Structure 1
Amino acid sequence: MKVLVVEPQKPCRVQEIESLADMQQLVGGDIEAVYPFQELVAVVCNADGKALGLPMNRPLLDKDYLPYDIIRGTFFVAGLGQEDFISLTDEQIQRYKSLYDNMQILPVRTAAGEQGRIVGDQHIKKKGKIDHER
């Protein structure tokens, strides 16, 4: 299955994966699927990313394009089939690559601890693509 891999502070890349073990290896542990878009795609991340203190990666945006959560650690975007994940189409790859390559979290250390700062084109609205569940 062809997915889009999104690593912290790196451009997105396309990768072929075959099994649950491949998915777990990619995110570094147990997987959790999040469905932040109206389109049939999933953002698949490490289920314990926050508890493990994985590096901040990309924000999830609400319907007003404001961040409501931050995914920690490497994640991937996959299509959704009837019962499992499927390959993204070439159009989906380009759409989500454009979105995530232009939006990143830069870690900033403060006296109170780590915080993130969103940089990029998150203020550009994409027609009705945001609807979250996390």
Structure 2
Amino acid sequence: MDMNDNRTIRIMVFEPGRAPYTTMLEDSLEHRQELVGGDIECIPLPCETVLCCNASGKLTGLPENRQYGPDTLHGTFFLYGDTPEGRGVSLTDEQIAMYQEYFPQPVPAAVSFEVRSAADMKEFMNLMFGKGWDMDTGAGEDMEAGR
């Protein structure tokens, strides 16, 4: 087997609830899939970096990991360097330093509301679905008007 089939590259791994760390990865599809626990999806990032994550992490219920723009990444993902030819290469120290702070922890859901009574429940439903939400029929005022 020639050496090009089994290149080892320096990557940065992000696991749910853990600080990112760097490690060496044998750059093959099998090893990438093993690391993210399933089919991979690759997202190009700034500075010649690629993010590799589990393509169906959200659907399969993997734990929330990091925020990426408006999206939450689920399950383990990793970053590696990219070349114009599209081959994975080791991350540089600069890339690693840059991405150390790039992905914030997931933001908790915007509405946190403690429900203690039926009145609270009604207020919560109003917050979530707008005024006039009918808990018994599960319909809002607007839908009623259409009858």
| TM-score of the aligned structures, taking structure 2 as reference length | 0.62
Identity of aligned residues (%): 39
Q: What secondary structure, in the 3-state scheme, does the structure 2 residue paired with 1:17 have?
A: strand
Match of 1:70 in 2: 72
Structure having the larger proportion of residues in strand:
1
Rg (Cα) greater in structure: 2
Corresponding residue pairs, total = 102
The aligned counterpart of 2:15 is 7
Q: Distance in 1 between matches of 2:12 and 2:80?
A: 7
Offset of residue 107 of structure 1: 6.4
Which ranges in structure 2 are unaligned for 5 or more consecutive residues?
Answer: 1-8, 116-147
- Residue 33 (structure 1) aligned with residue 35 (structure 2): no
TM-score, normalising length: structure 1: 0.68
| Equivalent position of 1:22 in the other structure | 31
Match of 2:50 in 1: 42
Counterpart amino acid of residue 51 in structure 2? V
Q: Which amino acid aligns with 2:63?
A: P
CA distance in 2, matches of 1:69, 1:75: 14
Counterpart Cα distance in 2 of 1:99 and 1:83: 23
Greater percentage in helix: 2
**Higher RCO (C-alpha 8 Å, min separation 6):** 1
Instruction: Give the root-mean-square deviation of aligned CA atoms.
Output: 2.1
Letter in 1 for 2:106: I
Does the C-alpha gap of structure 1 residues 29 and 107 become closer, same or farther in structure 2, counting only changes over 3 Å? farther
In 1, Cα distance between the equivalents of 2:67 and 2:101?
14
